[in-house]
Chain A
């Protein structure tokens, strides 16, 4: 078994309680940071660790922290992003359900590093049970003197609150989340100013994903250098992967970055292969927003190298033949799945979740949904396929926040890699209603690079 950093004790009975959590070494990092380290030293340690944002963007956390402005007389805030809404991602729900104190411990250390006196954990409204779990855990920690005034006699004060969202995907975008936390519609803000300068209540703010905050705990416990020994190159540490779709053993897995994708899908330690003895057709590797790849390209890069679960290896080949690690929402499709139908489903999602602020996204996502709907239901034309590519290009890069890109990429990539399936839907509308296109050549040895390029 590979060593785990976050989930080492996840199966210990009662680990959600403070007592058991402390028996297994919980809150050591709070003692160490608050009693023996300066806030700057904590930030340095996180920089050394090479930890990158686990919410999807992969931005170095230590660097994000060091950008935080520190004007005199102004509060600073740490907000934890637990709005987990990216289709395919459910790791934060798992973490908050089973080991809530890990998040709270990380919040205390991170708040100390940033000099925040009040911190919020923004959790999506549907996760009411998790909100209750966190509130209970916070009360426990407060009773034990780990929160509130003068934590463990260190002189540091911190109040920690949980804020429920309202069921809007867009609030996972950090400025939309801040707007929502201020009691407004989740419309992303124009940047700059970045939240590090002017965020919550126009004060300097850092927004970090649940998993990122949790990863601070092992970094402080063992040191950043020790953490950086995990992983490969610039992808250090471990990552929670949410595996779903047609897998034998879907679930949340903590992997060391650098694990081969093939091993993750097929080994018994992880997903155990494809369910019901079917074959793999395609994978969305990092949540619905990242480009979908056919089986052959997810298992190997275009150069024939085995693809690894790292930020770099998954994006090898750019969008031509690669994808992204994203939030680690790993969705596997078996040979019976229809790519056109799934692309339509994802487009409907983005249309539903677009905040409506920017025209390209508000209108474009609706058009893509409608055009994909008619392709799926047998009324499509051959020109629709290029129309989709055209619309997706007009959304991408033309919106305030990345939701536009997130809506465009799945459509563009599905057409890039599965164009023959779309064409088949146009040419055989009746048949397409009754059966799926099947595996075709998507699991065959790698296509030639020129072929992929000529389809763009």
Chain B
């Protein structure tokens, strides 16, 4: 849930604001609240998570109450309410993926990264979690990595090793 540790003022960059403005222009006058989900996605892509401070800023930008942002950010599972690793491995844990070994893949990731679901590795690089159906059941098991939600399909323990190794070497 919302974790308020210390309040750090943040300022959205003008580039980000420009993107927000473009999104708001898609809706009728006065319906700028519709931009909330796409705006939160942009915020998360920028900061890696959706902090309470960022949510307050979003509320101010969209001219809505902060609570309207909190209730949405806590409802949709894609928004991280606390800091995550740089790469969040989200593994599908629903039926069709489990029929072809998703549970094995999750156990393997837990062992390889050495952290439990939802925790961040000490170097801050990785975290992982099981998520519900990603609509790619024919390529199961699958995982995705934000913020672009790149997809990795037909996973095996070896391909997961390779993926983690590649990400480790990426700056």
Do A and B form a real pair?
A: yes
Binding site for B on A (CB under 8 A): 75, 84-90, 92-93, 118, 124-129, 159, 161, 163-169, 180-186, 201, 242-246, 250-252, 284, 288, 329, 331, 333, 337, 341-342, 345-346, 349, 352-353, 355
B134 to chain A, nearest CB (A): 6
* B133 within 8 Å of A (CB atoms): yes
Q: How far is the CA of A341 from the CA of B103 in the complex (A)?
A: 12
Q: How far is the CA of A89 from the CA of B138 in the complex (A)?
A: 9
* B136 within 8 Å of A (CB atoms): yes
Q: How far is the CA of A329 from the CA of B135 in the complex (A)?
A: 10
A24 to chain B, nearest CB (A): 25
Assess A342 versus B76: contact at CB under 8 Å? Given A169-B133, A244-B140: no
Interface contacts beyond A126-B134, A244-B140: sample of 15 additional A-B pairs, CB < 8 Å, sorted by A? A75-B28, A90-B136, A90-B139, A125-B78, A126-B144, A166-B78, A166-B79, A183-B35, A183-B68, A242-B138, A244-B99, A245-B100, A288-B94, A333-B99, A352-B132
Between-chain CB contacts (< 8 Å), 28 pairs: A90-B139, A93-B135, A127-B135, A128-B147, A129-B149, A164-B38, A164-B41, A165-B37, A166-B37, A166-B41, A166-B77, A166-B79, A168-B75, A169-B133, A181-B34, A183-B36, A183-B37, A184-B33, A184-B68, A185-B75, A201-B28, A242-B138, A243-B138, A250-B138, A345-B93, A345-B94, A346-B94, A349-B95
Determine which of A89, A161, A168, A342 lies in contact with B135 in the assembled complex, contact meaning CB atoms within 8 Å.
A89
Q: How far is the CA of A250 from the CA of B138 in the complex (A)?
A: 5
Would you list which residues of chain B between 32 and 84 have a CB under 8 Å from chain A? 33-38, 40-41, 62, 64, 68, 71-72, 75-79
Check if A201 sits within 8 Å of B31, measured CB to CB: yes
Q: Which residue, B34, B95, B98, has most C-beta atoms of chain A within 10 A?
A: B95
- Contact partners of B95 in chain A: CB under 8 A: 87-88, 284, 288, 331, 342, 345-346, 349
Binding site for A on B (CB under 8 A): 26, 28, 31, 33-38, 40-41, 62, 64, 68, 71-72, 75-79, 93-96, 98-100, 131-140, 144, 146-151
- Contact partners of A333 in chain B: CB under 8 A: 99
